[in-house]
Amino acid sequence: MTTSKPTVLLEHYLKQLKLPSVLREYAPMAAVCTKDRADYPTYLLRLAERELLDRERRAAERRVKAARFPVVKTLDSFDFQAQPSINQELVRELMSGEYIDRHENVLLIGNSGTGKTHLATALAFAACQLGRNVRFFTVTGLVTQLLERREDRQLERFLKQLERCHLVVLDELGYVPCSKAAAELFFDVISRAYERTSLLVTTNLPFEQWTEVMGSERLTGALLDRLTHHIHILEANGDSYRLKQSKGRQRRRTSSSPEYNSIQED
């Protein structure tokens, strides 16, 4: 089949205008619209909608990539029944992302394996879908980067990059104590984010023990003051999901093993 001149030109213009979805869909959509007896504005509307939706989806994908989540997790796969201590209503409210517009922070506090990182990722993933710029760090990862950037005289640039985020996740505060220099750099991040960028912090430590990580009571006080001024706290004080799952697996293995069955039969 030979392609007509208007079609060649049209495709060329659509490429120039960067309308890939219109380019892909204009012919099949024309067939659908003919069948539906849709008028020209409806045809154009359907194409414009397709382009817009695809553009939003691509932008969200870019934001998820830029956020650098270690593993993408969503709320769909979170079992609230397994962790009844978590305030489900608050989680659902936070999914709307309004706290980000108000520059408020979120703290997820609880033992290891209670789903803090999962929920933090799910909230941050939702923020990406809502058009917000997000970065995910473990606290140790961030501190290492801060020290490296300072060494390379790139610290200011890096902090400016962080300032362009609407939401920064700081996962696992409290697992490793910071050096004095690291604590000061970390404080700088919190302080610059104050009332500008939302922070989503996960920790296994109650506030009283933060001084042990930060090293200085004065710095911890100033940090907590800024972090907690506008904050939503989600507490998870149930059992570890990982532990429960592996215990469940072990139980299933034991009960289905032949030796176990034969012992039962004996």
> Which residues are at the interface with Mg ion (CB under 5 A)?
116-117
Token representation of residue 167 = 């939401």
Residue with tokens 């200085």: 216
Closest approach of Cβ 113 to Mg ion, in Å?
Answer: 8
Structure tokens at 147: 């020290």
**What residues between 10 and 49 interact with ligand ADP by CB under 6 A?**
none
Q: Is 83 in the site for ligand ADP (CB under 6 A)?
A: yes
Tell the residue number behind the tokens 């176990």, with chain if given.
Answer: 260
Instruction: Give 205's contacts (C-beta < 8 A, 6+ positions apart).
Output: 109, 173, 174, 212, 213
Q: Which of 78, 125, 137, 210 binds ligand ADP (CB under 6 A)?
A: 78
197 binds, among ligand ADP, Mg ion, none (CB under 5 to 8 A by kind): none
Query: Least CB distance from residue 139 to Mg ion, whole Å?
Result: 11
Give the position of tokens 């058009």: 131
The C-alpha R_g of the chain, in whole angstroms, comes to 25
Number of helical (H) and strand (E) elements in the chain, helices listed first: 13, 5
Among 242, 247, 252, 253, binds ligand ADP (CB under 6 A): 242
Binding of ligand ADP at residue 112 (CB under 6 A)?
A: yes
- Spatial CB neighbours of 117, under 8 Å, sequence gap ≥ 6: 73, 171, 172, 202
| Binder among 10, 82, 155, 162 for ligand ADP (CB under 6 A) | 82
Contact 84, 235 (CB under 8 A): no
Quote the least distance from Cβ 204 to Mg ion, whole Å: 8
Q: Which is nearer to ligand ADP, 118 or 166 (CB)?
A: 118
**Helix orientation angle between 180-193 and 217-228, rounded to the nearest 10 degrees:** 20
Closest residue to Mg ion in the complex (CB): 117
Of 35-43, 74-82, 209-217, 222-230: span binding ligand ADP (CB under 6 A): 74-82
Residue 41 buriedness (CB in 10 A; 0-12 / 13-18 / 19+): exposed
| Interacting partner of 174 out of Mg ion, ligand ADP, none (Cβ under 5 to 8 A depending on kind) | none
Q: How many residues bind ligand ADP (CB under 6 A)?
A: 17
Q: Which residue has the tokens 């911890």?
A: 220
Residue 19 Cβ vs ligand ADP, minimum distance, rounded to whole Å: 39
Choose from ligand ADP, Mg ion, none: what does 112 bind? Cβ within 5-8 Å by kind. Answer: ligand ADP
* Helix, strand, coil % in the chain, rounded to nearest 5: 65, 10, 25
Stretch of 13-21, 78-86, 219-227, 251-259 lying at the interface with ligand ADP (CB under 6 A):
78-86
The 222-241 site mask, x for binding ligand ADP (CB under 6 A), equals -------------------x
Contacting positions for ligand ADP (CB under 6 A): 73, 77-79, 82-83, 110, 112-118, 202, 241-242
